[in-house]
Amino acid sequence: MVVLISGEDAELRDLNVDGNNLAVDCVQFTGSRIRLRNVSAHRSARDGFREGDDNVAAVYNANVWEAQNLYASNNARHGLYVHDAKPATDNQGGMLLGMDARNNGGDGICMGTSANDTIIGAVCQGNSGYNIRLSSDSRAHTVIKSY
């Protein structure tokens, strides 16, 4: 990843991240109570924004995250991917308020193994996959005024 936030109670704001087609996510966050504000992520060879980890052995708690005014475009996979590789998810209770996810190679927003997250005001268009996908491993999400 270009930017990794693994601590607790951290905030990333007012930043443009260019993945430069590196084989990583632009912004990955795995800590509790992480806040992202006015951040854009472009041209990653994986995901623009990634909440969680693919490593089953990883020890983290990525609950109660909050993101506002995100922009993800031209990433090889998803604009925002919320997924935990562990069977019991540590990705829950998140809030996404306003996101522009366009022209990504996968979904605009993909909710994998995760629970109890809220998405409000997301605009997803021109993505190769779904604009917003709630996978069979996700549960109890709320999506309001988004497309």
Give residue 85's pLDDT band: very low, low, confident or very high (50, 70, 90). confident
Give the distance, in angstroms, between the CA of residue 54 and the centroid of all CA atoms in the same chain: 13
| Contact present, 123 and 100 (Cβ < 8 Å) | yes
Give residue 21's pLDDT band: very low, low, confident or very high (50, 70, 90). confident
- N- to C-terminal Cα distance for the chain? 28
Q: Smallest Cα–Cα separation from 96: which of 136, 54, 43, 132?
A: 132
Q: Give pLDDT, residue 84.
A: 82
Average pLDDT, rounded, for the chain: 92
Q: Reduce the secondary structure of 72-88 to three states and give it as a string.
A: EECCCCCCEEECCCCCC
User: How confident is the model over 120-134, as a mean pLDDT?
Assistant: 98
Q: Which of 52-61, 114-123, 134-143 has the lowest mean pLDDT?
A: 52-61
The whole model's pTM is what? 0.94
Is pLDDT at 46 greater than 80 in this prediction? yes
Give residue 1's pLDDT band: very low, low, confident or very high (50, 70, 90). low
Is pLDDT at 88 greater than 70 in this prediction? no
Give the angle subtended at the CA of 19 by the CAs of 107 and 3, to the nearest 5°. 95
Give residue 126's pLDDT band: very low, low, confident or very high (50, 70, 90). very high
User: How confident is the model over 87-92, as a mean pLDDT?
Assistant: 73
Q: Give pLDDT, residue 40.
A: 98
Q: Reduce the secondary structure of 7-32 to three states and give it as a string.
A: CCCCEEEEEEEECCCCCCCCEEECCC
Is pLDDT at 65 greater than 80 in this prediction? yes
